[in-house]
């Protein structure tokens, strides 16, 4: 792999609770994300983000001066804590350990939101009949972004006066609102275990296990220890309880995605991202997601017109980080790339 001039080469990272993904951006290019430079590592195998980044740079031989790090946790100034992993990330330490001149630390869903503006029709799959009008920087618009992986992220993207504005948020930690008697009982059971129950307790990989355990208890069964992959694998084999777990998962996912649209006024669409969405896309499209998404009382007719897009780009977090790199370290201040048309 040939890396660009170090003056224009930016280290990118997308850090979740399970995996750390790295790549390079060329801020001098029309489309800065260098997909062929992508590498992925398990966060549990490294003591810190800086150690993982150094390993990546040694593996690839890349020379960089600046970095953009998208992390699954709240960014507070020059520090962030990964919500579902013990890493604490500090900008001065990253700069010192990696020899970087500039570091930009952003929330992972800030990156996902920025990526929305670079997605092409080939990168998305429609959920429901409402059609998406591809991104246009000249049009005032508001989008919601939500996605389950190790946790649940949520955010938004505003387009105003030709500028992209990503909204930093922690919507995955909003309290879970049950929508029917079964979900009320699931909430009661999870409340006994966790106290307060957020949306993330249900809508993420471990959330599949939480839902399955609650449904098993309601049926008088002991499910034993399970991993999220066990639930989806057994569902694929026709296990009735696991299939019902997915039904509940997607119904709740649809309800809270609809709530996010109403909260942000995201009338231009909602993008579903995160590691689970591509893997469970057929089940998502057959599920009750869309019905619960639209079932918003007097706003139901409006919700029926809102496009829902499953983001299938294999590295959308890094794509968004590349957009942030072009904005922070590019030669043209404040200018982000525009999407390549499929």
Residue positions forming the annotated binding site: 13-18
Annotated binding site for ATP: 13-18
Instruction: Label the pairing between strands 33-42 and 124-126.
Output: unpaired
Partnered with residue 144 across adjacent β-strands are 156, 270
Helix axes 240-264, 205-218, angle to 10 degrees: 120
Alpha carbons 215 and 239: distance in angstroms, whole number? 13
Q: Residue 135: phi, psi to the nearest 5?
A: -55, 135
**φ/ψ (deg, to 5) at 129:** -95, -15
199's tokens = 């949306």
Give the closest residue to 304 by CA, choosing from 93, 131, 106, 102. 131
**Residues with Cβ < 8 Å from 238, sequence gap 6 or more?**
none
Other CB atoms within a 10 A radius of the CB of residue 150 amount to 23
Structure tokens at 229: 């992959």
Q: How far is CA 82 from the centre of its chain?
A: 14
Residue in the block written with tokens 């952003």: 106
């Amino acid at each position: 792999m040939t890396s660009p001039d170090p003056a224009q080469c930016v280290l990118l990272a997308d850090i979740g609770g399970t995996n750390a993904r790295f790549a390079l951006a060329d801020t001098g290019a029309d489309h800065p994300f260098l997909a062929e430079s992508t590498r992925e590592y398990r966060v549990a195998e490294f003591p810190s983000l800086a150690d993982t980044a150094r390993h990546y740079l040694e593996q690839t031989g890349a020379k960089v001066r600046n970095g953009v790090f998208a992390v699954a946790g709240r960014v507070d100034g020059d520090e962030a804590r990964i919500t579902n992993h013990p890493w604490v990330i500090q900008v001065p330490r990253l700069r010192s350990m990696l020899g970087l001149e500039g570091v930009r630390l952003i929330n992972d869903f800030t990156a996902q939101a920025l990526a929305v503006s670079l997605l092409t029709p080939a990168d998305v799959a429609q959920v429901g009949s409402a059609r998406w009008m591809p991104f246009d920087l000249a049009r005032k618009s508001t989008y919601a972004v939500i996605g389950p992986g190790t946790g649940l992220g949520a955010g938004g993207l505003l387009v105003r006066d030709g500028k992209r504005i990503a909204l930093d948020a922690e919507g995955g930690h909003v309290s879970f609102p049950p929508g029917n008697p079964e979900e009320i009982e699931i909430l009661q059971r999870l409340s006994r275990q966790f106290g307060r129950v957020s949306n993330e307790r249900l809508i993420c990989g471990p959330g599949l296990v939480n839902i399955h355990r609650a449904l098993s208890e309601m049926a008088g069964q002991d499910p034993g220890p399970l991993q999220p992959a066990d639930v989806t694998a057994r569902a694929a084999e026709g296990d009735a309880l696991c299939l019902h777990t997915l039904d509940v998962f997607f119904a709740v996912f649809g309800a809270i995605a609809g709530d996010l649209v109403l909260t942000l006024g995201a009338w231009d669409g909602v993008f579903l991202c995160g590691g689970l969405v591509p893997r469970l896309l057929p089940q998502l499209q057959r599920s009750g997601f869309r019905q619960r998404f639209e079932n918003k009382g007097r706003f139901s007719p409006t919700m029926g017109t809102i496009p829902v897009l499953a983001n299938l780009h294999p590295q959308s977090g890094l794509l968004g980080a590349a957009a942030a790199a072009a904005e922070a370290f590019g030669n043209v201040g404040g200018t982000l790339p525009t999407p390549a048309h499929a």
